[in-house]
Amino acid sequence: MRVLVAGAGGMLGRDVVAAAAALGYECAALTHSDLDVTDGGAVAFAVADAAPDAIINCAAWTDVDGAEHDEVSAFNVNAHGAGNLARAAVAVGARLVQVSTDYVFEGAASQPYLESDRTMPQTAYGRTKLAGEHAVLATSTAHAVVRSSWLFGVHGRNFVTAMLETADAGQREVAVVTDQVGCPTFTGHLASRLLEHAASGRGGIFHAAAAGWCSWNEFAQAIFAAAGLEVVVTETTTAALGRAAQRPAWSVLGTERTTAVLPPWSEGLADYLALTRNGSRP
């Protein structure tokens, strides 16, 4: 299978490219400097040139707070960009796997969100990602949308790197919110699932997040314990942080599909630490 990865320079994109190579797939890895997904003509040319069997779109505006101040720019990337790739895929007979997010939901549930649950984004970021889902699914029934939650990986800044850098800086106490609950998902695990969707030929909406859930506070405690670091994690609230964008209180994703769930978030954390404890921490 020949795969084109858009956003190949990002945290998730780099893991998708590595996973594709491990499977022996041909891979056209296009970073933002290689391809601006908001440029429809450039997208059509790049996809035609690569002639992929499948496209995995990891290109996204992920600055949640920034999207509140510039929703137009976020929309151009997350919605228009996704639509450009979806149409270009159809033109060459390829299918698109679009990466989406738990932010498309209201975040006020008490049970895991399923694929068929009503969407109700509360932020500009969530609205733009949902618009991207609609653009992709309206283009072809062969395209797939894969929602995930709380991503962390070895190739970019994320919550795990932030916590480890806190300890590296000598800080022995950190306040972390207790009122946000989700599924911390290792991009190394998600990358393999995205490629499975690319090869499966099944279209529609799918959820792919780590099994189990925890609060950010509990995740921080687990990070320090697994890394053997003595850092006290105290409690705080989302409101106390004063962020521009509202954070979902409940970001837990379940699935009603027949696809297997991803490994537990604790295994993702262990795999992350195994890859980064050699001193090459990003």
Give the start-to-end residue ranges of the domains of the chain.
2-152+184-210
The pLDDT tens digits for 223-241 are: 999 999 999 999 999 999 8
Chain mean pLDDT for the chain: 95
Tens of pLDDT, residue by residue over 74-85, are 999 999 999 999
pTM above 0.85, yes or no: yes
pLDDT of residue 245: 85
pLDDT value of residue 236: 96
The radius of gyration of the chain from alpha carbons, rounded to an integer in Å, stands at 18
Of 137-141, 167-171, 212-216, 274-278, the one with minimum mean pLDDT is 274-278
3-state helix/strand/coil string of the chain: CEEEEECCCCHHHHHHHHHHHHCCCEEEEECCCCCCCCCHHHHHHHHHHHCCCEEEECCCCCCHHHHHHCHHHHHHHHHHHHHHHHHHHHHCCCEEEEEEEHHHCCCCCCCCECCCCCCCCCCHHHHHHHHHHHHHHHHCCCCEEEEECCEECCCCCCHHHHHHHHHHCCCCEEEEECCCEECCEEHHHHHHHHHHHHHHCCCEEEECCEECCEEHHHHHHHHHHHHCCCCEEEEECHHHHCCCCCCCCEECECCCCCCCCEEEHHHHHHHHHHHHCCCCCC
Mean pLDDT for the stretch of residues 49-67: 97
- Of the pLDDT bands very low, low, confident and very high (cuts 50, 70, 90), residue 242 is confident
Tell me, yes or no, if 103 is annotated catalytic.
no
Catalytic residue among 103, 113, 125, 272: 125
Residue 282 has pLDDT above 50, yes or no: no
* Segment 160-195, tens digit of pLDDT: 999 999 999 999 999 999 999 999 999 999 999 999
pLDDT tens-digit readout, 72-122 = 999 999 999 999 999 999 999 999 999 999 999 999 999 999 999 999 999
CATH 3.40.50.720 matches 2-152+184-210? yes
Return the pLDDT at 280: 44
- pLDDT at 255 (0 to 100): 96
Contact 249, 179 (CB under 8 A): yes
pLDDT of residue 221: 98
pLDDT for position 278:
58
Over residues 252-281, the pLDDT tens digits come to: 999 999 877 899 999 999 999 999 975 444
The pLDDT, as a whole number, for residue 259 is 74
What pLDDT does residue 74 have?
Answer: 98
pLDDT higher than threshold 90 for residue 158:
yes
Lowest mean pLDDT among 40-54, 126-140, 242-256: 242-256
